[in-house]
Amino acid sequence: MKRASIRKILHGLLTLTVLCGSVRADNRGPAPQFTARTLDGETVSNESLSGKVTLVQFWVTWCQYCRRDQSAVDNLERRFANKGLVVLAVDADESEATVRKYLRGNPRSARVVVHDGATLAEQFGAHGYPYYVLIDRNGDIAGRQKGSGGEASLRQLLRRAGLSSRSDMLDAGNPTSDFPASAGKLIEVPRARSAPTAKPGRKTIFVLANGDRLEADRYTLDATSLHAVADGQQRTIALSELDMKATVAVNRERGVDLKIPKSRNEVVVAF
């Protein structure tokens, strides 16, 4: 079901891969031991979630496929709350300020975790967004889903922990209902140890149209804008404000092979 292969990019850059959402039941067994604190101050752990079905969604605010799944995830939590479903929406790579700003315009009913996000992502093997892990009432992993597939594929995943409605049972006999033709995508972030090694301290330079330069520690570059962290500050700059020809040239001189997205479905991340 893979539609594009992962492209490894020099100096820590990686081109994001497009995959259909797929439900898997591999890696069953006890879920990793974890404790996390939500943005509302609630502490959740294996112990506190015992006896409940927990859907862990790994996401980030800039992931368009995560946004596409957001209403489906929150709707399913409301629908199955009386059957013991808990959803943890774990932001794995952003600051609390960034997530809170996003939530002001895009509120969520799910419990949102930020501070422990990177640790949880490593524990659960989440190296792409969105990525789902389903934990059953006994604390075991019942299934995983890589990528966005909408509400239908998430319902299929929930059935692995015994959560279903009448409509789900009717759909169960129709295998095509779980994966509509417009199935969503996955933004995949390979493990750091598998990425090419960058020289310590090397930053990417972006040249603005007015001649100013910005040195980015890490950034996301899509078809319309640059989201960069420079000097500890997060900035968003429209591509129209950048001199991309000069940017590519200055980085090439420094030995940095800067990749530019060629379509709206391609995103480049450096970290």
If one compares 218 and 87, the residue with the highest pLDDT of the two is: 87
Class of domain 195-270 as given by CATH:
mainly beta
Its CATH architecture, for the domain 17-188, is: 3-Layer(aba) Sandwich (3.40)
Q: What is the rounded average pLDDT for all residues in the chain?
A: 77
Question: 17-44: per-residue pLDDT in tens?
Answer: 333 344 444 456 899 999 999 999 999 9
Of the pLDDT bands very low, low, confident and very high (cuts 50, 70, 90), residue 179 is: very low
If one compares 26 and 67, the residue with the highest pLDDT of the two is: 67
Q: Is the dihedral of CA 207, 212, 214, 220 positive or negative?
A: negative
Question: 190-238: per-residue pLDDT in tens?
Answer: 444 433 333 344 678 888 888 888 888 778 888 788 888 766 666 788 8
Q: What is the 3-state secondary structure (H, E, C) of 212-245?
A: CEEEECEEEECCCEEEEEECCEEEEEEHHHECHH
Region 69-88 average pLDDT: 93
Question: How many CA atoms lie within 13 Å of 50's alpha carbon, on the beta-carbon side?
Answer: 4
4 pLDDT above the threshold of 70 = no
pTM: 0.59
Q: DSSP E strands: which ranges in 118-212?
A: 128-129, 131-135, 140-146, 187-188, 204-207
Contact 119, 199 (CB under 8 A): no
Domain residue spans in the chain?
A: 17-188, 195-270
